[in-house]
Structure 1
Amino acid sequence: MPILTSADAGETWIEPDEVPRPIVAFGVAMEDVGGIEIDPHRHRKGQIILVQRGALSCEVEGGLWIVPPRSALWIPGDALHAVKASGALEGYNAFIDPKVGAALPKACCAVSVTPLLRELLIRAAHLPYLYEEGGAHSRLVVVLLDELAAAKVEDLHLPMPADPRLRRIVDEMMAAPAARGTLASWARRAGLSERSLMRLIARETGMSFGRWRQQLGVVLAVKWLAGGVSIQAVATDLGYESTPSFVTMFRKALGASPGRYMAERHPSRG
């Protein structure tokens, strides 16, 4: 099918759960989405979202994922999720029937995208919704499923606590990530002792307070870098005293410097 644009996306949308095919795929290309927020929703089919240009953030039951260029997000069927995007965006979606997706992850995860997986998703997005089954199109779908099942999981996940006291802290941190308050100061804001705060965040997120705050910095950095913000500006906005200290943290977390990480995901490269 044609790639959807901001002018026709609403008119041509078809509910994927109602299409009698194991995979329903489409692409989206918009020069300036101006800020899109898709309210929490769910569908029976699982969903893979590939970002080719721009960046998405997606909150899925208990977690926040950032999806930079050349990465993808897998959302299992029936998982409640909400999506946000801003600026220019190019991406591809595939909705996968649980009957053929048994080998796919049971939980939401960000995955790296091989050139083959990317081309398979793009090719699938150009198929008719009701593509002919039993021939070349069906074989393409099988290869797409195999490649998706083998995709490497990326650490772009931020566990989101459900406790309202912790969510207030999270909201404040995300609004002003450069505010590097101490554990004691955050505990006072939440009306908790330091020990109680440490226990609560470990129980709700599976991370220590310091590890969770660092991961917040990682996902925000990836989102901002994908939007074109400079490495120096990102380091400042996250409250780092120097750019090298930010780069060191980023490299330890994702295995590459910010510049190299984004270069590998730039649509005009490789």
Structure 2
Amino acid sequence: MPILSTANVADWIEPDDVPRPIVAFGAAMPDDGGFELDPHRHRKGQMLLVQRGAISCEVAGGLWIVPPRSAIWVPGGALHSFRISGGLEGYCAFVDPALTEALPTSCCAVAVTPLLRELLARAAHLPYFYEEGGANSRLVSVILDELAAARVEDLHLPMPGDPRLRRIMDAMIATPSDRSSLAIWAKRAGLSERTMLRLVRRETGMSFGQWRRQLGVVLAVKWLAGGASIQRVSADLGYESVPSFVTMFRKALGTSPARYMAERHAG
């Protein structure tokens, strides 16, 4: 199967129209300013594995950032959009709904094992209408087992449905270096602090401070995967010092930014 890229996107065949349990292909996007897929949905579940670069995926209720050696799983029927801010290499697989009973029922980012990566690479070399049975069916079964066992990663930023809060949080995403207090953000939205606190908790399940820290984590992962330096990321997130940023990152993900990205690019 050919590699999907911006150069041959017109040759795309809708996976829902291919009567096979899994339809997989390689994906390669050059670092030429980014690429976006507007909100859309598929009958089949979709997994996009990232080998180089990073993607952001928005589904109702949340934004996910997917760095190298991770994948995003989007259940069939879920309305979603993708944004690629730089170059990307990876694999994409669409899974028939009849085979997704053991897979997550909601969107999530998962860690990718070397075995799952190699299985998808093998599946991506099959023709669209590959012969079923035998080795191909066994390949599909192992892919499903590996995906069902994949560890979910905390690379999710809950997004509100309330339009007042969504405007504020969109502004915070657009200007993450703005470290204004809750009181100032509430005033900009025309809300009282109490109402703002109640809305944030109800819409995201987090406190205002927790949500802002998680925003910093997902943006840091995205920018670091795109090649930004730790110093640049720290400044763009509004931290007064690099050590402060590193401490936040370590508390959230259990390791330093340098080690996190080194592990992502290893091998």
TM band (smaller chain):
over 0.9
Counterpart in the other structure of 2:163: 164
Residues 172-199 of structure 1: CA deviation (Å, up to 9, x unaligned): 1111111101111111111111111111
Counterpart in the other structure of 2:5: 5
User: Structure 1 CA distance, aligned partners of 2:252 and 2:75?
Assistant: 25
Counterpart in the other structure of 2:118: 119
Counterpart in the other structure of 2:217: 218
User: Structure 1 CA distance, aligned partners of 2:188 and 2:158?
Assistant: 20
- Residue identity matched to 1:7: A
Do 1:33 and 1:89's aligned partners in 2 also have CA atoms closer than 8 Å? Answer: no
TM-score by length of 2: 0.98
User: Structure 2 CA distance, aligned partners of 1:28 and 1:43?
Assistant: 18
User: Structure 2 CA distance, aligned partners of 1:249 and 1:106?
Assistant: 30
RMSD of the alignment, in Å? 1.0
Unpaired runs of 5+ residues, structure 2, are none
Do 1:218 and 1:253's aligned partners in 2 also have CA atoms closer than 8 Å? Answer: yes
Do 2:34 and 2:87's aligned partners in 1 also have CA atoms closer than 8 Å? Answer: no
Which stretch shows the higher mean deviation, 234-243 or 30-39?
Answer: 30-39
User: Structure 1 CA distance, aligned partners of 2:127 and 2:59?
Assistant: 29
SS in 1 for 2:232: helix
1:33 CA displacement: 4.4
- Residue identity matched to 1:235: S
Unpaired runs of 5+ residues, structure 1, are none
1:63 CA displacement: 0.4
Do 2:110 and 2:153's aligned partners in 1 also have CA atoms closer than 8 Å? Answer: yes
User: Structure 1 CA distance, aligned partners of 2:181 and 2:87?
Assistant: 37
Number of corresponding residues: 267
Residues 148-185 of structure 1: CA deviation (Å, up to 9, x unaligned): 00000000000000111111111211111111011111
Do 1:104 and 1:149's aligned partners in 2 also have CA atoms closer than 8 Å? Answer: yes
SS in 1 for 2:98: coil
User: Structure 2 CA distance, aligned partners of 1:168 and 1:2?
Assistant: 40
- Residue identity matched to 1:81: H
The residue correspondences of 1:68-83 to structure 2 (distance < 5 A) are: 68-83=67-82
SS in 2 for 1:99: helix
Counterpart in the other structure of 2:45: 46
Residues 17-39 of structure 1: CA deviation (Å, up to 9, x unaligned): 11101101111123324221111
User: Structure 2 CA distance, aligned partners of 1:219 and 1:5?
Assistant: 25
Residues 71-125 of structure 1: CA deviation (Å, up to 9, x unaligned): 1000000000011112211111000011011100001000010100111111111
Do 1:4 and 1:26's aligned partners in 2 also have CA atoms closer than 8 Å? Answer: yes
- Residue identity matched to 1:130: F
The reply to whether residue 151 of structure 1 matches residue 138 of structure 2 is no
User: Structure 2 CA distance, aligned partners of 1:86 and 1:169?
Assistant: 22
Percent of paired sites with the same residue: 76
Do 2:41 and 2:77's aligned partners in 1 also have CA atoms closer than 8 Å? Answer: yes
- Residue identity matched to 2:166: R
